[in-house]
Structure 1
Amino acid sequence: MTRTREILGQLIAYPTVSADSNLALIEHLAGLLADAGARVEVFRDPSGGKANLFATIGPDIDGGILLSGHSDVVPVADQAWTSDPWAMVERDGRLYGRGTCDMKGFIAAAVALAPVYAQKAIARPIHFAVTHDEEIGCLGAQALAPLLQARGVKPRVAIIGEPTLMRVIEGHKGCYEYSVHFTGLEGHGSAPERGVNAVEYAVRYVARLLELREALKALAPPDSRFEPPWTTINTGALVGGVAHNVIAGKARVDWEMRPAQPGDADLVKADLHEFCTHHLLPGMRAVAPMADIITEVIGEVDGLIPTSENEAREIALALTGANGAGLVPFGTEAGIFQAMGMQAVICGPGSIEQAHKPDEFIALEQLAEGIRFLERLGDRLQVAP
């Protein structure tokens, strides 16, 4: 516990809000893992200001176990913290600081055990992945995936240490987020037929989203364990216009969907493309040929689909002593690793109820439970998969 707390305090001191660089934290972790004997790779993003880390301890073979966590945290601006969010403090059996539970606690525990893994990883390698920008679309993991595919040596099992109170989680819906930009033609509000009101077309687009949301309920898989069991759609924002008496020339719709099954996202996107192409744009361009509707993809992250065979689930159940695995409503990077062919599970210390809030904390008993889980995992590295 002492070493984990030391490392966690160091990680909290790096203010790795998604809008800012995570390079200093990644370099720090790279040094700790290299000192433990890991083979470390750091992959910078095109801007050079962000990076993913991938490290391996043990033989250079397929079938390893991947421990994964994201380095970025949500902002603290306008939150009422009672202590410095970037300086970990202990109070009443809890460690406070931004990222303590989401999810630097898991990362700290995994890295603290790297020297132990170096002694035990005889027959099976263990890998560490620390990514950037999970909070804004899992951008880091999506960039890391093709790089790992190209390496040739692939992990078999992925354990994503998001805070689940150490419950074993085998599934969650995907999360697809979009901003749709409408460009119309401004004019005087007294002659609306002479302009193209971007807000009005955005409203029609939202109405179509609502129709699709209802239609998706009928497509819910009969055996779905999700709550609700169908793919959901949510309109987060509609922004546009400048004044009461001006035809709105610009508008934006922010929306998301959370697919409950493969295929639903493609159905929704195809329907919206047809609706814009054949119903909205012709009317807009009949008045203003330059009018347009542009869809900006903020993030498309696949869900984690429960499967009948899942070694990651079986390992986590054995290590925790739990009788079964559950589902969660929030998204993670697990689906990205599953899409690469890994068997994935989510299991980590802390509660998601504390994530993203002021005075975020992880209970010391939860951190200790996570450490025990990772200690027992080391024994799995002495036996070939």
Structure 2
Amino acid sequence: MDDVHALARRLVETPSHEDETAAGDEIEDWLREHTDADVLRDDAPNGGNIIARKGSGDSVALVGHHDVVPPADEQVDDGEYVVYEEDGRLYGRGAADMKGAVAAAMVAFRDADPDCELVFCSFVGEEQGGIGVRHHLERHDAPDYAVVAEGSTSYTTDGVTDVVVAHKGRRGSTIYAQGVAAHASEPASGENAIYRASDAVDVVRELDFPAVEVMGERVEGSVAVTGIDGGSAWNVIPDTCEVTVDERTVPGERADLDRVTSVPGVSWSVDQDLPPMECTSDAFADAVLDAAADAQSGAPRHVVKPHATDAGWLADEGTACVVCGASEPGEAHTKTESVSLDTLDVCYETYRGLANAWPVRED
């Protein structure tokens, strides 16, 4: 799989935490040179999404993103990303999340001979809340099916690449408590916004965590207060206080945060809502699992992922999605980020195998 390894290294070497143009150039140029596909570079912010298509029929997309979070000091030398191989792993910012899997998807796209419309997508701005995929979906139809190449390796067994059939979303909210300012020597003459916010926090603590089942896998959400900000001076009864809430959402359910408005002077608003995902096609989820099983010696399973991905935005538009990729838990966004080269080979075989096998035809 030298093509996958070499391409992964090229992509990881290309900085893309501030401006994704250069990484997009690498992807676009490679696709134009190595495939006969129709290649589109759109006008999404930060350099544009890269979309390539070949074949006809129902569309199956191999989906990734080429932006990365800012590198740690150890991952940069004289303005260049530090990239190296050691003990069968590729090290560097974005190796796991997720340029390694993007490279595997690109080579699989090149090599596949599909009986469907095969689409390759690499989006910008995934780390900023799905900027690229949202830009694309506002202008184009969503694919019928998609494999989002985010991490699914070592979920059930070390070194085995599983298939995610559901993942949580994230809703970030702010609770606002309004009070009446007063001198702290006469607290009864005011209304303490921090006390009201504290009462609202108590409401949040009592909320039930929503949970659903997807293809036999339990997906359980959570709600947590993660910050509080109020008060202007030690001798002033505060008239405002804000509380931040992190909610991990599940398909079709949300915690009843509106209950905080039962506290006088309290309101709330949503700041960010990254959607959860559930696969809506058993046949597609099983076909990806079969392809993953054929690609490796271990026994992959359908699993649930705790993190939001671009699959949530696609699923919201009707795409039947799974997540299947090389990153292992604990690798993404770290100063020692790396990916197994053998696992990139498994991903390549999985993506190519699925593309050649779909749609599944019954005799």
Specify whether residues 261 and 115 from structure 1 end up closer, same or farther in structure 2 by C-alpha distance, changes over 3 A only: closer
Distance 1:204 1:13 in 2: 50
Q: Are residue 157 (structure 1) and residue 145 (structure 2) matched?
A: yes
SS of equivalent to 2:238:
coil
Distance 2:307 2:215 in 1: 16
Specify whether residues 197 and 27 from structure 1 end up closer, same or farther in structure 2 by C-alpha distance, changes over 3 A only: farther
Listed as ranges, the matches of 1:129-168 within 5 Å are 129-149=121-141, 155-165=143-153, 166-168=161-163
SS of equivalent to 1:147:
coil
Give the TM-score taking structure 2 as reference length.
Answer: 0.82
Give the TM-score taking structure 1 as reference length.
Answer: 0.78
SS of equivalent to 1:255:
strand
Distance 1:223 1:170 in 2: 7
Q: Which residue of 2 aligns with 1:289?
A: none
Listed as ranges, the matches of 1:71-220 within 5 Å are 71-77=66-72, 86-117=81-112, 120-121=113-114, 123-149=115-141, 155-165=143-153, 166-182=161-177, 186-195=181-190, 197-212=192-207, 216-217=208-209, 220=211
Q: Give the Å deviation of 1:83.
A: 7.7
Specify whether residues 318 and 246 from structure 1 end up closer, same or farther in structure 2 by C-alpha distance, changes over 3 A only: same
Q: Which residue of 2 aligns with 1:368?
A: 345
Contact 1:158 1:312 in 2 (8 A): no
Listed as ranges, the matches of 1:1-385 within 5 Å are 1-17=1-17, 20-35=18-33, 36-45=35-44, 48-49=45-46, 51-59=48-56, 61=57, 63-77=58-72, 86-117=81-112, 120-121=113-114, 123-149=115-141, 155-165=143-153, 166-182=161-177, 186-195=181-190, 197-212=192-207, 216-217=208-209, 220=211, 230-262=220-252, 264-265=253-254, 268-269=256-257, 271-272=258-259, 275-276=260-261, 279-281=263-265, 293=267, 295-298=269-272, 300-307=273-280, 309-321=281-293, 322=299, 324-380=301-357
Q: Give the Å deviation of 1:202.
A: 2.5
Contact 2:165 2:214 in 1 (8 A): no
Distance 1:223 1:31 in 2: 39
Gap runs ≥5 in structure 2 = 154-160, 294-298
SS of equivalent to 1:135:
helix
Q: Give the Å deviation of 1:339.
A: 2.6
Distance 2:356 2:251 in 1: 35
Specify whether residues 251 and 50 from structure 1 end up closer, same or farther in structure 2 by C-alpha distance, changes over 3 A only: farther
Specify whether residues 189 and 52 from structure 1 end up closer, same or farther in structure 2 by C-alpha distance, changes over 3 A only: farther
Contact 1:126 1:381 in 2 (8 A): no
Distance 2:217 2:240 in 1: 37
SS of equivalent to 1:51:
coil
Distance 2:231 2:217 in 1: 38
Q: Which residue of 2 aligns with 1:290?
A: none
Query: Runs in 1 of length 4+ with deviation above 6 angstroms?
Result: 82-85, 381-385
Q: Which residue of 1 aligns with 2:296?
A: none
Distance 1:8 1:126 in 2: 21
Contact 2:279 2:322 in 1 (8 A): no
SS of equivalent to 1:111:
helix
Corresponding letter in the other structure for 2:39: V
Distance 2:38 2:227 in 1: 45
Choose between structure 1 and 2: higher helix proportion: 1
Q: Give the Å deviation of 1:329.
A: 2.1
Query: 1:174-215 deviations in whole A, cap 9, x for unaligned?
Result: 221223455656553323455554433332222221122xxx
Specify whether residues 296 and 44 from structure 1 end up closer, same or farther in structure 2 by C-alpha distance, changes over 3 A only: farther
Which stretch shifts more, 321-330 or 80-89?
A: 80-89
Q: Give the Å deviation of 1:365.
A: 1.4
Specify whether residues 199 and 303 from structure 1 end up closer, same or farther in structure 2 by C-alpha distance, changes over 3 A only: same
Contact 2:109 2:352 in 1 (8 A): no
SS of equivalent to 1:24:
helix
Query: 1:12-31 deviations in whole A, cap 9, x for unaligned?
Result: 233333xx332332233222
